[in-house]
Structure 1
Amino acid sequence: MAVFDTKAIDYDQWYESKMGRFVDEVETNLAFSMFVPQKGMTILDVGCGTGNFSIKLAELGCKVVAIDLSEEMLKVARRKVEEKELDITFHTMDVYDIKLEENQFDAVFSMAAFEFIKEPQKAYTEMMRVLKPGGELLIGTIHRNSSWGSLYMSKDFQENTVFKYADFKSLEELEGLDKKNLVARGECLFIPPDTPEEGITMEKEKELSHTEGGGFICALWKKPV
């Protein structure tokens, strides 16, 4: 999404805050508990942004191809990858028209991008197309029916941030993309966005998981053989 071009230069500052680091940690823990990357896997990272998960996957020994619509975000990603001396291939590409061969990847990964997908079924079908039979597709996104979803749908965020372009999904909607081939689902980020810094702990996250809905959701599908 070209709108992210203007956000690219300071996008990663979020991860420097205590909440940003915590959010990244719990989302990563959830994703990698559902999908376990194996060294040598070929993985497509859809909506890679500044390369956060592309880098995580490459550091685990995966062969990563990453796509995003924002060339400015990709410039940041390439710079980070070069500094880390990793080998990741980046393309400016639309999820609705992935110009790559079908049945090509061992896995397809999309984290924190699907909230900006306006045609989720079309995007899902295209991601499945490039996945090898028996391969796994993981999508992680903000949960509409959560305190985090409420924040991003608030008047201030809808008027003043990129979330005005978002189309948030519920866990049920995410599962509904393909119930037949769904193999796992999960939630995390039970801590609300207004939690004071001293309350941002794994202990609090675990405690709230028994009473609150997660602000971030993941679903995992397996392509039929």
Structure 2
Amino acid sequence: MAVFDLEANNYDKWYDTKMGNFVDKVETKCAFDLFKPFKGMKVLDIGCGTGNFSIRLKELGCEVIGVDISDEMLNVARKKAKEKNLDIDFLNMDIYNLEFDNESFDAVFSMAAFEFIKDTKKAIDEVFRVVKPNGQILVGTINKDSSWGKLYLSEDFQKNSVFKHAEFKTIEDFIGIQSDNLVETKECLFIPPCTEKNNISMEKEEELSKIKEGGFICALWKK
């Protein structure tokens, strides 16, 4: 998607802010509370963007291939991996037509990409095709039914950001897909986007988890 090419060079800057760093921290914890990598695991990172999770998975000992539909995002990912001397293949590929044989991967991992995938069932069915029996499939995405979902659906974001191309999901949207293989779902990011800097903390996150919808959801399947 060409719109992401325009975002590529500035995409990672948000993670340098206090909120961006916090969001990354809690989303990463949420994902790895569910997804259990092991050394030598062959992982396909779908919607890898600038390679943040591809790099983390590689550093955990996985063999990683990252795919995305933005050439510029992939170029940034390649540069970052090269700077860290990490051998990761980054390929331009569509989730609906993964150019891999059946049962090619031990696991599929996808964070913050399903917001931009229209046909969730078709995508997950294709993911299941390329995963080996007993393989893990982890999807993390913005929760439509949260303060973060409402922000990205607001008029300003719908007019002036890439989120005008998004189709946000809820946990219920995932529960009905490959339901016999669904292992667990989990929420995080209970802190709303309007939180002041001095209130951004894990303590506040824990407090709000008892009364708020999580802004980010993760789902884990096992084939």
Provide the TM-score with structure 2 as the length reference.
0.99
Structure 1 vs Structure 2 CA RMSD? 0.6
Aligned twin of 2:216: 216
SS at match of 1:21: helix
- Secondary structure (helix, strand or coil) at the match of 1:7 reads helix
Task: Please name the residue that 2:204 is paired with.
Answer: 204
Question: Which letter maps to 1:113?
Answer: A
Q: What's the counterpart of residue 55 of structure 1?
A: 55
Q: C-alpha deviations, 1:74-114, integer Å up to 9, x for none? A: 00000000000011111100001000111011100000000
Alignment correspondent of 2:186: 186
Residue aligning to 1:151: 151
What SS is found at the alignment partner of 1:96?
helix
Aligned to 1:138: 138
CA distance in 1, matches of 2:151, 2:174: 20
Instruction: Letter of the 1:214 partner, please give it.
Output: G
The whole-number CA distance in structure 2 between the counterparts of 1:40 and 1:188 is 28
Instruction: Please state how far the C-alpha of 1:2 moved relative to its aligned partner.
Output: 2.1
Identify unmatched segments of 5+ residues in structure 1. Answer: none
CA distance in 2 between partners of 1:175 and 1:218 (Å): 11
1:109-135 CA-partner distances (Å, limit 9, x unpaired): 000000000111111011111000110
Partner of 2:163: 163
The residue correspondences of 1:1-225 to structure 2 (distance < 5 A) are 1-223=1-223
Unmatched 5+ stretches in structure 2: none
* TM norm structure 1: 0.98
CA distance in 1, matches of 2:48, 2:156: 26
> After the TM superposition, which parts of structure 1 deviate over 3 Å for at least 4 consecutive aligned residues?
none
Deviations 1:120-177 (A, max 9, x none): 1111011111000110100000000000000000000000000000000011112222
SS in structure 1 of the partner of residue 38 of structure 2:
coil
Instruction: Give the deviation of 1:34 after TM superposition.
Output: 0.3
- Number of aligned residue pairs: 223
